[in-house]
A and B are shown apart, each in its own frame.
Chain A
Amino acid sequence: MEQFRKKLKIRISWLSVLSLTTALMGVYYVFFAPETIKNITVFEFQGGASVAICILSSLNIIKYIKILKDDNKLQLKCNKENDERFKIIKSKAGIPIVPVLSVLMIMSGIIAGYFNITVFYTLIIVAMCQILISGIIKLIYIKKM
């Protein structure tokens, strides 16, 4: 249990770094970015994604802090993360490989988008489809197993 507590604390620190970085990026987009690039679709997407990541990581930090305060919730979370059935379901749905690949695809899509907007749209759609399919497979196996 102590090991899991440490794991959550490490997760909180990484999420704090992510949250702070994306918040700073958001501030840059709104106040300091040059007007010439502000109307580019890729730039707007990048800004939106940063804000979404910032909000999600902040919410997760709050969730983990609440879990750390309650031993019962901590035990439940620990059981959920180490549950053998969920591990099998996740591996069947390609987690964590599919989400990692999707994030890499989105990042490369953003970079490529500054040169060719078609590549940007293609990579974003493929990444979204990947995540969607993985989610559907996960739901199917949750029902099936």
Chain B
Amino acid sequence: MKTKIAELRKEKKMSQEELALAVGVTRQTITSIEVEKYVASLPLAYKIAHYFNMSIEEVFDFSQIDD
């Protein structure tokens, strides 16, 4: 799933490690989400979106999900 996490991080000038620490996961998990290897769970997606003061839909791209 495509996300805007990398862009948002760069805007805020923060590292993966810092974001990982803030949302309670490891740096590797943030990397995996950014490179679309892993799809974050709903609670984690909420935490990430909440951290950037955005909604989940604004951070994660759901357009490719089938109905």
B contacts with A, residue count (CB < 8 A):
13
Residues of the A chain whose Cβ atoms lie less than 8 Å from the Cβ of B32: 85, 145
Per-residue contact bits, chain A 83-106, to B (CB 8 Å; 1 contact, 0 not): 111100000000000000000000
Among A76, A79, A145, max chain B CB count under 10 A is at A79
- CB of B39 to closest CB in A, whole Å: 10
Q: Are B21 and A83 touching (Cβ within 8 A)?
A: no
Asked if B8 is at the interface (CB within 8 A of a chain A CB), the reply is: no
* Contacts across chains A and B counted by CB atoms under 8 Å: 34
Q: Are B29 and A85 touching (Cβ within 8 A)?
A: yes
Asked if A82 is at the interface (CB within 8 A of a chain B CB), the reply is: yes
Asked if B55 is at the interface (CB within 8 A of a chain A CB), the reply is: no
Q: Are A145 and B37 touching (Cβ within 8 A)?
A: yes
- CB of B14 to closest CB in A, whole Å: 16
Per-residue contact bits, chain A 63-78, to B (CB 8 Å; 1 contact, 0 not): 0000000000001101
Q: Are B20 and A145 touching (Cβ within 8 A)?
A: no
Given known A-B contacts A75-B21, A76-B21, A145-B32, A83 and B26 have beta carbons under 8 A apart: yes
Q: Are A84 and B25 touching (Cβ within 8 A)?
A: yes
Q: Which B residue sits closest to A78, measured CB to CB?
A: B24
Residue in B25, B37, B38, B40 whose CB lies within 8 Å of A79: B25
Asked if B41 is at the interface (CB within 8 A of a chain A CB), the reply is: yes
Given known contacts A83-B26, A84-B40, A85-B28, what 7 new A-B pairs fall within 8 Å (CB)? A82-B24, A82-B25, A84-B44, A85-B29, A85-B32, A86-B26, A86-B29
8 of the cross-chain contacts (CB-CB < 8 Å) are A75-B21, A78-B24, A80-B26, A82-B24, A84-B41, A85-B26, A85-B38, A145-B37
The 3 closest A-B pairs by CB, nearest first: A85-B29, A83-B26, A83-B25
**Chain A interface residues (CB < 8 Å from chain B):** 75-76, 78-80, 82-86, 142, 144-145
